[in-house]
Amino acid sequence: MEPDGMERSLAPDPGSAEFTAALEGDSGSIAEARRVAADFLIRVQTEYGLPVTERAMDLAQLVVSELVTNACKYAPGPALLCLRVTGAVVEIEVWDSDPVLPVARAADAGRVGQHGLEIVMAVVQGFSARREPVGKRITAHLPLLDDPMPPAG
């Protein structure tokens, strides 16, 4: 049974899984999104037999938390969280109603707060932000394994 307001869909490829959650956009959405991400990755392990390291689980929750925090802080109203696994990568996508694209600020150890996007960009394999007809969509790619492609040598 899925929690209220959430839909689950599976792509035709058995190595792909997708889950979308509608979030209220309030401060409770952040904890809910972290829980949804953890539950999704646990299901990926149990239902699909795909490996997900503890580090990947922790980083996915961190990235979800930071992206949903920004959506709640800067965009009025609801947000969508879409989690998608293809191969050995989880794609984390957050849609919100604010069309202004985020910009990572230069690192500044003296700055209090506003480091979320810096953190996200430091831990993900890929990151994109694009405007939608309404709002924007932020997408981050995170490997399920700690080091999916070890260096040659």
pTM of the model: 0.82
Contact 69, 116 (CB under 8 A): yes
113, 121, 123, 124 from 110: Cα distances, Å: 9, 19, 21, 24
Distance CA 25, CA 65 (A): 12
> What is the largest distance, in Å, between two alpha-carbon atoms of the chain?
50
How are strands ordered across the β-sheet holding 136-143? 6-9, 16-23, 79-86, 89-96, 136-143, 126-131
| pLDDT, tens only, 81-112 | 999 998 899 999 999 999 999 887 666 667 66
Predicted confidence at residue 7, as pLDDT, reads 41
| pLDDT, tens only, 116-148 | 788 898 899 999 999 999 999 999 999 998 754
